[in-house]
Amino acid sequence: MTTSVTSRTGGTAPVRSGAARSVLCLVGALVLLVLALFASVMFGNMSNSFGDVLDVLSGDGDSYLTTVVESRYPRTVLGVLAGVCLAVSGTLMQGVTRNPLADPGLLGINAGAAASIVAATAFLGASGQSETMGWALPGALLSGVFVHLLGSAGSSTSLVRLVLAGAVLTAVLTAFVQAVTLSRPQVFDSYRYWVVGAFGGRDFSAFWPVLPFAVVGLLVALVLAPSLNSLALGDESATSLGTNPAVIRGTGLLTATVLSAAATAAVGPIAFVGLAVPHIVRAVGGVDFRMQVLLAALTGPSLLLFADVIGRILLRPQELMVGVVTAFVGAPALLLAVRRMKGGA
Amino acid sequence: MEKGKPVTIDAGTHTGGAPAVQGLSAREVTLSYGAAPVVKGVSLEVPHGGLTVIVGPNGCGKSTLLKSFARVLKPVSGHIALHGRDVRALRGRDFARQVALLPQSPIAPEGITVQGLVRRGRHPHHTLLRQWSPDDDRAIALALERAGMTELAEAQAGDLSGGQRQRAWIAMVLAQDTEVILLDEPTTFLDISHQYDLLELCAELNRDGRTIVAVLHDLNQAARFASHLVVMNHGEVVAEGAPHDVLTAELVAEVFQLDCDIVPDPRTATPMVIPHERVRAGKTG
Amino acid sequence: MSTDLRKAAPAPADSPRPPRGYLRVGNRIALPVQRSSVVVVLCALAALLVAAVLTLTLGRLGIRLTDLPSAVFGGAEGKDAFVLNRLRGPRLVTGIATGAAFGLSGTLFQTVTRNPLGSPDIIGLSTGAGAGAAAFALLLPGVPVWIGAVLGAVGAMALVYVSTGTGFRNPGRLVVAGIGVAAISTAVIQYVVYVVERDAATSLTAYLNGSLAARSWSDATTIWVVLLATAPLCALVSRHLAVGEMGDEISASLGSDPGRTRTAAVVLSIVLAAGAVTVAGPIAFVALIAPQVARRITRGAGPRLLLSALTGALLLVLADLAAQQLPLFDDLPVGIYTMAVGGLYLGYLLTREWRRGSL
């Protein structure tokens, strides 16, 4: 819950002017992403050299090598998708709420996806990984919509209401998930493999159903970015600048929800990417939301892919799930940030 | 049965040692919230039994100094003394029976009545097992009466208007029954008639023997009510004394960057600031 | 000085009496006791008694109501002795004290943070305990789980304490640091649950939900000792908490040290919650909901420690009654019931506040 936390707006950093800087940032982020992509197909239980990967990509690799490298395509693609969704979702959340601690995970989406998977496995006889994972998306979307309906029951949408509505939904659904999983061991199995948040063992079947939501979400985020710039000045200034704060906020939060639901459905709940990337992006790229959305879309995947690579290398031949890695990298960063917080009673 | 203790818990019990300085004083006090000092080595004696008003431009450290007098803020260096004794050496409760503070934005707990709020002012007179003292009811009733809140005693603090709420807080501070009362910008957010009501109340309390120290924004109000005026700028005391000695056109020009005439107030003959027209909006106060 | 006081109200010859609403014993003791809260507290006690009787008498194994007094006071025999001394008695006694500890813990925390959603769960205590339990289950399978839970809770709180940089004094930082520590803890739990065998994972998850099943008299002793040892300290801190509600400056100028009050209250809150987690696991929502219910029953300001403790006990005993008697699922951990009911209650509160437009 972040309701009692003092918010520090994203608009406090000095505006860095100059198109050159922006281009530099984007190019840097792009280079980083390419490196992350290469790393993701290179490393694993069996690591290849850079040359091997180039051979495979140009079609010259031997068949074994090709199989190894290509087996890492799905997780890489999923990583990119989830990274884009989570990072842009977090940027929208923080921009809309002006709260640097807003995280899409607070909206009850994870619990909704989990409950959906558990219900499908227990009562509809879903089995096999791709089939059960397919149920995550409707569950996540449904819970997101529900939270918005509950959270905006009155006139306007406020973060406090949404977070509380998310907490309510999470509690009730988690109770349901726990009750079912504790009394049905086989359901428990599919649940615990999903809930940890991992790229391993997933195939493209997790990718295609989620892709349209991610694309639409990203486009809406880019369209909203200029309005978010006026919103950062406060509701009254935003109104006088010709934007409708309520509409922008509603659309922004809904888009954030959809993006976050897409990521959760694809790879399971992953903490801290949605929280951390917007901070990094603000520190590097400044306060312009158009820039922030673009940079987030490039940085999020890099972060997630590198985390995944670390998880693959660290405990070889076993794997540390990416959700665990991001938590262990992200949480200490948050703890360090706490020390620099001002006031905050 | 216990014999009723005397109602006053005041200076009488502290004069035994015949200390050098009566009342509150600061010696070489430096205060800061972070790295940069807000108040720099200020020495100040608050005239005991007087009505002292501290004025100065925004950020000059006047509220900060007041907080250190209230023992809320600990000096980085230097001492705050009460009757010649370092306030840090006093127990919090003993100090609180002698000095009360009304901060700028106190928080009224949810669901509290005016009387409940005022009763909390009696905290320093209580102990863990004795959360009521024989003087409580008289002190509370009197505090409510002085603040003009007797009729509203049962009202919810949350339902009060701005002026009423400020009077409720004054009543709480009065119930504390201290010889010194510190007020941090008590007139902010009040409309003009309530501002004067409140200042008249302060003057009345002062006439009854209480020492009042207030931070105010309005120079004319300060000059009208103060018996001792303290002017601060950039964390230092730049002038102090009787208002008609302190408040000069030169001082206002230097401290507030405002050119003005000083004329006697037609009703009270205290100095009054009449600003000149500004040719251009170049300077700000 | 203060001559006005003397002038207006000449001291009466005989000693004045405290107003209504105070309990006075001799000259040294006078405590505020409001008649309305006495009634409410008695009602809560009665409800708790009814819930306790139901816990012991309902169901196939229940002691017959007519046999209950003699079983409790005269010593039970046969099946009744087993139910009273082994099956339900210790569970009930543990449940009462655990609920009370959670209720107290939540009230202290909510008052200090001025956040109606504050509870030790929020600063990562429960998830820390869970992570400790999980880590022990994975690395040292022979050691009792509760040891891991205690170490985990202590470790999490130490991490929070260190990372805020100001100890437990600043509620804002406390909550943010709690989010971070909770995230790490959750990652640990999920990793362990993922890695270990299914059976081990199931039993671990059951523990992590918080359960009162199969508690012994030694569990009951543990939590009662914690509760009774902290109770006087809670009473001590409560007076300063009431003043602290008005902001740091007022409370400092009234002679109470706000920083020390906060630290004391948070430490007490943590000790109580840690004790409760030790015997029953991280049961959700009792610490959060009990103070809310207590606040809605009585009006007026100030922390209501006694009533919150009773409400917490009542909530937990009722939830455990449901866990034992509802035929829905077979003896699920009580934490699942408190989570479901607590979540629904929170939802009810929210919609009601929204309709009133006060949120």
- Read off the pLDDT of residues C327-338 as tens digits, 9 standing for 90 and up: 766 678 888 888
Please, what's the b/e burial string for A128-153 (b: 16 or more CB within 10 A of its CB; e: otherwise)? eeeebbbbbbbbbbbbbebbbebbbe
Based on the domain organization, do B151 and B184 belong to the same domain? no
CB-based contact, A315 to chain C, within 8 Å: no
Based on the domain organization, do B114 and B173 belong to the same domain? yes
Based on the domain organization, do B85 and B188 belong to the same domain? yes
B217 burial type by CB count under 10 A (0-12 exposed, 13-18 middle, 19+ buried): middle
Based on the domain organization, do B68 and B120 belong to the same domain? no
B48 burial type by CB count under 10 A (0-12 exposed, 13-18 middle, 19+ buried): middle
Q: What is the pLDDT of residue B101?
A: 92
Check: CB of residue C129 under 8 Å from CB of residue C257.
no
Q: Which residue of A has its CA nearest to C190?
A: A196
User: What is the Cα–Cα distance from B160 to C358, expressed in whole angstroms?
Assistant: 17
DSSP-assigned beta bridge partners for residue B233? B236
- Phi/psi zone of residue A18: left (φ > 0), alpha (ψ -120 to 50 degrees), beta? left
**Residue C137, number of CB atoms within 10 A of its CB:** 22
Check: CB of residue A190 under 8 Å from CB of residue A132.
yes
Check: CB of residue A81 under 8 Å from CB of residue A258.
no
Per-residue pLDDT for C6 more than 50?
A: no
Q: What is the pLDDT of residue A220?
A: 94
Which chain A residues are within 8 Å of C171, Cβ to Cβ?
4, 344-345
Per-residue pLDDT for A45 more than 50?
A: yes
In order of A3, A9, A157, A259, A287, the CA distances from A97 in angstroms are: 11, 9, 10, 16, 15
Check: CB of residue A25 under 8 Å from CB of residue A187.
no
Largest CA distance in chain B: 74
Per-residue pLDDT for A83 more than 90?
A: yes
| Mean pLDDT, residues A84-99 | 87
Check: CB of residue A203 under 8 Å from CB of residue A74.
yes
* Nearest in space to A3 (alpha carbons), one of C262, C350, B167, C228: C350
Check: CB of residue A76 under 8 Å from CB of residue A37.
yes
Domains of chain C in sequence order:
88-310+326-356 (1.10.3470.10)
Q: What is the pLDDT of residue B8?
A: 39
| Mean pLDDT, residues C44-49 | 93
At residue C357 the predicted structure's pLDDT band, cuts being 50, 70 and 90, is low
Based on the domain organization, do B184 and B153 belong to the same domain? no
- How high does pLDDT run on average in chain C? 81
In Å, how far is A3's CA from the nearest CA of chain C? 8
Contacts of A34-40 with CB under 8 Å at 24 or more apart are: A35/A302, A36/A301, A36/A302, A36/A305, A36/A306, A36/A309, A37/A76, A37/A80, A37/A305, A39/A305, A39/A306, A39/A309, A40/A72, A40/A75, A40/A76, A40/A79, A40/A305, A40/A308, A40/A309
| Mean pLDDT, residues A183-207 | 78
Per-residue pLDDT for A67 more than 90?
A: no
Per-residue pLDDT for C151 more than 80?
A: yes
* Assigned domain for B285 exists: no
Check: CB of residue A169 under 8 Å from CB of residue A143.
yes
Q: What is the pLDDT of residue C346?
A: 78
Q: What is the pLDDT of residue C272?
A: 92
* Assigned domain for B203 exists: no
Q: What is the pLDDT of residue A88?
A: 94
| Mean pLDDT, residues A288-305 | 91
Which chain C residues are within 8 Å of A174, Cβ to Cβ?
339
Q: What is the pLDDT of residue C77?
A: 77
* Assigned domain for B16 exists: no
Contacts of C324-327 with CB under 8 Å at 24 or more apart are: C324/C55, C324/C58, C324/C59, C324/C88, C325/C58, C325/C59
Based on the domain organization, do B234 and B256 belong to the same domain? yes
| Mean pLDDT, residues C50-72 | 85
Check: CB of residue C280 under 8 Å from CB of residue C126.
no
Give the best-scoring range by mean pLDDT among B70-79, C72-81, C300-309.
Answer: B70-79
Q: For tokens 């449904």, what's the residue?
A: A142
Based on the domain organization, do B122 and B260 belong to the same domain? no
Q: Supply φ then ψ for residue B274, to 5 degrees.
A: -115, 105
Which chain C residues are within 8 Å of A160, Cβ to Cβ?
359
Per-residue pLDDT for A188 more than 70?
A: yes
Per-residue pLDDT for B136 more than 90?
A: no
CB-based contact, B131 to chain C, within 8 Å: yes
Low-confidence winner among A39-43, A66-70, C170-174, C300-304 (lowest mean pLDDT): C300-304
| Mean pLDDT, residues C205-219 | 85
| Mean pLDDT, residues B204-216 | 93
Q: What is the pLDDT of residue B133?
A: 75
* Nearest in space to A298 (alpha carbons), one of A10, A22, A43, A12: A22
Based on the domain organization, do B94 and B116 belong to the same domain? no
Higher pLDDT, A216 or C15: A216
Which chain A residues are within 8 Å of C339, Cβ to Cβ?
171-172, 174-175, 178
Per-residue pLDDT for C300 more than 80?
A: no
* Assigned domain for B6 exists: no
Based on the domain organization, do B215 and B267 belong to the same domain? yes
Per-residue pLDDT for B14 more than 50?
A: no
Range of the domain at B33: 22-98+179-194+210-277
Q: What is the pLDDT of residue C302?
A: 62
In Å, how far is A69's CA from the nearest CA of chain C? 26
Q: What is the pLDDT of residue B156?
A: 87
Q: For tokens 């205690």, what's the residue?
A: C150
| Mean pLDDT, residues C269-280 | 88
| Mean pLDDT, residues B191-212 | 91
Q: What is the pLDDT of residue C20?
A: 60
Based on the domain organization, do B89 and B223 belong to the same domain? yes
Low-confidence winner among B155-169, C52-66, C110-124, C314-328 (lowest mean pLDDT): C110-124
User: What is the Cα–Cα distance from A324 to A306, expressed in whole angstroms?
Assistant: 13
Low-confidence winner among B16-25, B199-208, C187-196 (lowest mean pLDDT): B16-25
Check: CB of residue B37 under 8 Å from CB of residue B53.
no
Higher pLDDT, C167 or B147: B147
Q: What is the pLDDT of residue A84?
A: 94
* Assigned domain for B143 exists: yes
Per-residue pLDDT for C120 more than 60?
A: yes
Domains of chain A in sequence order:
77-340 (1.10.3470.10)
| Mean pLDDT, residues C283-296 | 86
Q: What is the pLDDT of residue C19?
A: 60
- How high does pLDDT run on average in chain A? 80
Which of A178, A186, A272, A325 has the highest number of chain C CBs within 10 A, making it the mutation to test binding with C? A178
Q: What is the pLDDT of residue B5?
A: 38
User: Cβ contact (<8 Å) for C253 and B177?
Assistant: no
- How high does pLDDT run on average in chain B? 85
Question: Quick one: which H or E segment has residue C207?
Answer: helix C198-209
* Assigned domain for B41 exists: yes
What pTM was computed for the model? 0.78
Q: What is the pLDDT of residue C288?
A: 86
* Assigned domain for B15 exists: no
Q: What is the pLDDT of residue C236?
A: 87
C-alpha triplet B57, B63, B68: angle, nearest 5°: 140
At residue A156 the predicted structure's pLDDT band, cuts being 50, 70 and 90, is low
Q: What is the pLDDT of residue B280?
A: 56
Q: What is the pLDDT of residue C351?
A: 73
3-state secondary structure B146-162: HCCCHHHCCCEHHHCCH
Per-residue pLDDT for B266 more than 70?
A: yes
Which of C354, C355, C356 has the highest number of chain A CBs within 10 A, making it the mutation to test binding with A? C354
* Assigned domain for B9 exists: no
**Residue B27, number of CB atoms within 10 A of its CB:** 17
Please, what's the b/e burial string for C122-135 (b: 16 or more CB within 10 A of its CB; e: otherwise)? bbbbbbbbbbbbbb
Based on the domain organization, do B185 and B79 belong to the same domain? yes
Q: For tokens 């004069």, what's the residue?
A: B15
Based on the domain organization, do B167 and B118 belong to the same domain? yes
Per-residue pLDDT for C7 more than 50?
A: no
Per-residue pLDDT for A216 more than 90?
A: yes
DSSP-assigned beta bridge partners for residue B262? B273
Q: What is the pLDDT of residue A29?
A: 92
Domain count, chain B: 2
In Å, how far is A280's CA from the nearest CA of chain C? 17
Q: Are strands C29-32 and B51-55 parallel, antiparallel or unpaired?
A: unpaired
At residue B112 the predicted structure's pLDDT band, cuts being 50, 70 and 90, is confident
Per-residue pLDDT for C123 more than 80?
A: no
CATH number, domain at B235? 3.40.50.300
Checking ipTM against 0.85, whether it exceeds it is no
Instruction: Show which of B125, B152, B177 is a domain's final residue.
Output: B177
